[in-house]
Structure 1
């Protein structure tokens, strides 16, 4: 689920989706803005495997757990490597 497996294609693995989410966060964005940008980006880039909103949220959870992402003032932000955990 987090990494590709026999049942989870590489383009749907949570780490892959998480990396795609990070690409959308060139600046702080709301969850809904990030979701919308991710869906558009995946369509433009030719990713045909659909992702549900629940799967997107799981990818956000993985990013938060890994210390990559924070939610500040209702905005998703990429955590700087030298920043303390919120």
Structure 2
């Protein structure tokens, strides 16, 4: 689920989706803006596999758990490394 396996294609692995989310977070966004940006990015980059919102949220959870995301004032953004 987190990494590609025999049953999980690389484009559906949470690390792949998390990386795509990270690419689309060019500025602080609301969750719905990030969801729209990710869907737009995937369409532009010929990634046509279905992506439910729940997988997007799980990808956000992975990024947050890794310390790569922060949420402040209702906006998610990339974490600033000291």
Q: TM-score, normalised by structure 1?
A: 0.92
CA offsets 1:21-78 (integer angstroms, 9 cap, x no match): 0111111000000000100110110001111000000000000000000111000010
Instruction: Give 1:74's aligned residue.
Output: 74
**Structure 1 residue runs without a partner (length 5+):** none
What is the CA–CA distance in structure 2 between the aligned matches of 1:39 and 1:20, rounded to whole Å?
Answer: 10
Alpha-carbon RMSD across the aligned residues, in angstroms, is 0.6
Detail structure 1 runs of 4+ shifted over 4 Å in the superposition. Answer: none
Aligned length: 82
- Structure with the largest fraction of helix: 2
- Alignment-derived partner of residue 58 in structure 1: 58
